[in-house]
Amino acid sequence: MPERFSWRAVAAGAVGAAGLAAAIGRGEATAAVVLAAAFALGHLFPLRFGGGRLQPVGPAVATAAVLSQLLVPLLWGAAMGVPLGWVAARLRFGERQAADLVPGEAAGLAGFVGVFALLEAPVAHRSGPWGQLAVLVAAMVAWYLASAAARAAWTGTRRRLSGGLLWRTALSEWPVYLVLVAAGSLYGLTAPALGAWAVLLAGLPYGFAHLAFGRLAASDLTYRQTIRVLGKVPEAGGLSPPGHAERSAEVAVALTGELGMRAQASRRVEQAAFLADIGRVAMAGVMPTPGRVVTTADLARWSAAIVAAAPTLEPVAALVAQSSHPYRRPGEERDPGVSPAAQVVKVATAYDYAVGGGMEPGDALEILHQGSAYEYDPAVLAALRRVLRRRGVAGV
């Protein structure tokens, strides 16, 4: 077991022991232990986002607890259950997937409890059920925003991707939070009347949602893997440098973050960068003739035609087709028919070809800058320079 994980496990145990001691001292041990078990199990059986990220059921547990008037035991239960759940998730899912769970849950819970405690007395007690609903919604929005910010800041890819892209990606995962809040609210509102049966009542819809999100995540993973495999076909045939598609896509995603693109646009750019060279399989069958030279426009056209054969990838095919176009022509500020996303694909693939051909990163960037009059968008090149500097690349 890695030494770093061992120390984290010890620290998690210490926090849990402190939470248990506090709960016993206040005579709230039973409720705190039950909530701790819920937090821990929620880390073992989390919901999955489309990109494969994990979301424990902490929001559901917190919602059910405050509706059951267990705000203070919620704190002790979280102190015990979240660290224990992280250890379990780390052992089950690995370091990479479990790395941001504790900061996300801790920040989210702090925001939730802070907003709820601040607003409950002046709003909920005076405005009745609607006021209580407003306080609960405000507290959960605080969890959602605080957790998204903490996970974006903590994630291991922070040095390779901009914080803005990570933040926008986290904010796009709101449907999972909605399901968790609904499940927790259903339990909290029905527990006084149904007792233990409320667990079953709230658990059934949650179970269906858990299965649905799991299947969605599995489909998304298969989809991503298929795109990656297709991108490697030219490499397998010796038509592209080994690893070119992977590196180009990785740089392209980083550029979308620097340029403030949305998560969906970033994903399309990633796919276009993976598939930009797929047309080389058609190029291999072109018979050379006098005066016939295969150009980058030909490659882009063939690649786009192959990608467009899948109707769901037509937006990606459009980016691939545009990736051979200059960002502007003489007499115009920029070509409105060429999207910034297509320029990202163009710059990312050109940069990797230059570096893969033996150039130093700084020299490759300067070569691209020489084409900034027409071929390469200066804004995208400036974003590339920022990406390389963040990664500590010398000479840029």
What is the rounded CA–CA span in Å between residue 142 and residue 136? 10
pLDDT (tens, 9 = 90+) of the chain, 396 residues, equals 454 545 454 454 555 555 556 556 555 677 778 888 888 888 888 888 766 678 888 888 888 888 888 877 887 788 888 888 888 888 888 777 777 777 888 888 888 888 888 887 766 556 666 777 788 888 888 988 888 888 777 765 555 666 667 777 777 778 888 888 888 888 888 888 888 888 888 888 888 888 888 888 888 888 889 999 999 998 888 888 899 999 999 999 999 988 888 888 899 999 999 999 898 887 765 544 545 556 778 788 888 899 998 898 999 999 999 988 888 888 778 878 888 999 999 999 999 988 887 888 888 888 888 887 888 889 999 999 998 888 888 777
- What type of residue is 156? G
Tokens representing residue 311 in the block? 């109707």
Residue 307: name the closest of 231, 221, 220 by CA.
231
By the 10 Å C-beta count (0-12 exposed, 13-18 middle, 19+ buried), 192 is classed as exposed
Phi then psi for 259, rounded to 5 degrees?
-90, 0
Sequential DSSP letters for 317-347:
HHHHHHTTS-S--TTSS--TTS-HHHHHHHH
What is the rounded CA–CA span in Å between residue 275 and residue 231? 5
- What type of residue is 122? P
Region of residue 300 (left: phi > 0; alpha: psi -120 to 50; beta: else): alpha
CATH code for residues 232-285+292-390 = 1.10.3210.10
Q: Where are the domains of the chain?
A: 3-214, 232-285+292-390
Question: CA of 344: how far to CAs of 19, 26, 128, 266, 348, in Å?
Answer: 49, 58, 53, 10, 6
